[in-house]
Amino acid sequence: MSRVLVEARGVSKSFAVKGGAMQRTVGRVQAVDRVDLQVFEQESLGLVGESGCGKSTIGRLLLRLIQADAGEIVFDGRDITRLKEKELRSIRREMQIIFQDPFSSLDPRTPIGESIAEGLRVQGVPRDARRQRALEALELVGLEQYHYRRFPHEFSGGQRQRIGIARALAVKPRFLVCDEPVSALDVSIQSQILNLLKELQQNLQLTVLFIAHNLSVVEHLCDRIAVMYLGRVVEVGTREEIFESPHHPYTLALLSAIPVPDPNRVKRQILLPGEIPSPLHPPTGCSFHSRCPIVEMGICDREVPELAEVAGQPGHLASCHLRTGAHQHLGGRWARMGAGAG
C-alpha cells in the first residue's frame, strides 16, 4: 500500500440551523462526527451514503473549503487544518473539486477556455501558457480545440461535465474530489464520464475521492470504499471486501439495492424501515440502530460501536457491535439478513 496523501483525523463539523422570523439559531446539525479517513496516494477511494449523511461535507473539509470544528486535516504529511488563506494558496493548486452541476460554476458570458484557465490566472501563469494548458486540458477530456471559444450554453450535460473535469485538471492537481459528478447526467452519459475519470486517474496517477450515493457507481472506479451513515464512517475496505464480505448491516442493505442485469435472477432487497434520522436529533448508541434489521436493544441503543478492524482482514474496518468487538458472540443474527459473509 502506498503512503497516505490526505487524511482526516477525528474531524467534526456542525452547521447552525436558523428558524423563526428573526432567523435565529435554533439548533445545530452534526454533519460530520469524529471521522477518521485516509486517502492513499494514487488510489481512488469511493465515499458512499444516502443524501445528508455528510459525505460532501467531508470532501469540502479535506479541501479546506470549509473549516472543521474539531480534528485535523493532513495533506502530504502537513497539518493544514488551521493554515491561513495565503498559506493555503500553493496547496490549493494540488487539490481540486469536480461538482455535480458544472453549469452553475461556469460563467455563462465567459468562453469555456477562459473558465478552464481561470485557476491558472489566479496563480499568475502568463496568458500564452494559460491558453496552452487549457487547450491540453480540453484534449484530455475528449473535447476539441475549437471548443475553447464556445460558451457554456452551447454544450450538452455530458460535455459540461467534461469542461468541469478539464477545469480541475488544468492546474495539474494531485488530489481530486469528485462530488457526485454523474448524478445529474442521463444514464447513457454516466458510464462515459465514469470511464473518462477512471482513465484520467490511472494515466495522470491522480489520488481521487469519489463521492456517490450508491455503490454501483463506485464499483468499477474505486480501489477502496468507505460507507457513511449519519455523519460517521461505518465501514471501510477494499472494493472486494465491501462487495464480497461486508461487515456492516447498512453496507449490506446498500449492496442489496444494486439492480441485477439478469431477469432470471431474483435478488432479495433489504428494505430499511423509516427515513434516515434527523442529524438535529441523532439516535443514541449506534446511529444506525433505529433502522437496523438485526439491532440488539440494550446494547446497540446504548453503546457507540468503534470503527474496528475486522478479524483477519487488515485495513477492513467496520463499526458494528455484532461484527467486531465485545459483542461479537451475537453475530449469529447476521444470518437473518441473508448475509453470506462469515
Task: Kindly list the residues in this chain that would bind ligand SF4 in the complex (CB under 6 A).
Answer: 248-249, 286, 288-289, 292, 294-296, 300, 305, 320-322
Q: Distance between CA 73 and CA 64 in Å, rounded?
A: 8
CB of 244 to ligand SF4, least distance (A): 19
DSSP per-residue letters across 153-200:
GGS-HHHHHHHHHHHHHTT--SEEEEESTTTTS-HHHHHHHHHHHHHH
CB of 297 to ligand SF4, least distance (A): 9
Query: Closest CB to ligand SF4 among 181 and 249?
Result: 249
Question: Would strands 175-179 and 95-98 be described as parallel, antiparallel, or unpaired?
Answer: parallel
Q: Which of 301, 299, 302, 286 is nearest to 328 (CA)?
A: 299
Do 13 and 32 form a contact (C-beta atoms < 8 A)? yes
DSSP per-residue letters across 277-341:
PPTTSPPSSSTTTTT-TT--TTTTTTSPPP-EEPTT-TT-EE--TTTSGGGGGGGGGGGGGT---
CB of 322 to ligand SF4, least distance (A): 4
Question: Would strands 232-238 and 224-229 be described as parallel, antiparallel, or unpaired?
Answer: antiparallel
CB of 288 to ligand SF4, least distance (A): 5
CB of 54 to ligand SF4, least distance (A): 17
CB of 248 to ligand SF4, least distance (A): 6
At 280, list the grid cell: 438535529
Query: Closest CB to ligand SF4 among 175 and 288?
Result: 288
- 78-79 sheet: strands from edge to edge: 24-40, 4-19, 70-75, 78-79
Query: Closest CB to ligand SF4 among 210 and 250?
Result: 250
DSSP per-residue letters across 108-129:
TTS-HHHHHHHHHHHTT--HHH
CB of 276 to ligand SF4, least distance (A): 14
Query: Closest CB to ligand SF4 among 95 and 253?
Result: 253
Query: Closest CB to ligand SF4 among 13 and 289?
Result: 289
Query: Closest CB to ligand SF4 among 126 and 338?
Result: 338
Question: Would strands 70-75 and 24-40 be described as parallel, antiparallel, or unpaired?
Answer: unpaired
Query: Closest CB to ligand SF4 among 133 and 289?
Result: 289
Query: Closest CB to ligand SF4 among 102 and 231?
Result: 231
Which phi and psi (to 5°) does residue 302 adopt? Answer: -115, -40
Cα–Cα–Cα angle for 44, 136, 134, nearest 5°?
A: 100
CB of 239 to ligand SF4, least distance (A): 21
Cα dihedral value 69, 72, 78, 84, nearest 10:
10
